[in-house]
Amino acid sequence: MSNEDDNLKDQLSKIEQTIAAQEKLKGILSDDQIELMLAALKEKRAALQAQITGSGAVAQGEVAVAAGAHGTAISHVQGNVYVGPQLKDGAEAIAIYYRIVARAGKFLSMRGVNIDSADPTGEQNPLCLANVYVHLDTTARVPKSGKGKINNQEDFLSGGPEHKDDPPLSVLDAAINNRRLVLLGDPGSGKSTFVNHLAHCLAARAMQEDADRLKHLPGWPKNQALPIVIILRDFARTLPDPLPRVAEPNHLWDFIKARLKAQNIVLAADLLHQALQKGKAVVLLDGLDEVPGEAFRIFIREAINTFVERYCDNKYIITCRILSYQPPAVRDKPDLRLPGFPAFELSPFNPEKVDQFINAWYNELSIDGVVGLDDAPLLAQKLRAAVRRPDLWRMGLQPPSLNCYGHSAYP
332 versus 32: which is more confidently predicted? Answer: 332
Query: Which range, of 81-85, 197-201, 286-290, averages the lowest pLDDT?
Result: 81-85
Q: At what angle do helices 31-53 and 351-367 cross, to 10 degrees?
A: 40
Q: Which residues pair with 286 in a beta bridge?
A: 231
Per-residue pLDDT reduced to its tens digit, 349-398: 888 888 888 888 888 888 777 787 778 888 888 888 887 777 666 555 55
Cα gap 337→339, rounded to integer Å? 7
Nearest to 178 by CA among 227, 221, 144: 221
Cis peptide before 161 (omega within 30 of 0): no
Per-residue pLDDT reduced to its tens digit, 59-93: 444 454 544 433 444 457 877 889 889 999 999 99
Q: Which domains does the chain have, with CATH numbers?
A: 1-54+348-411 (no CATH), 137-343 (3.40.50)
Nearest to 228 by CA among 307, 339, 345, 134: 307
- The DSSP code sequence of 364-396 is HHHHTTSS-TTTHHHHHHHHHHHTTSHHHHTT-
- Report whether pLDDT(56) > 50: no
- The DSSP code sequence of 247-268 is --HHHHHHHHHHHHHHTT-GGG
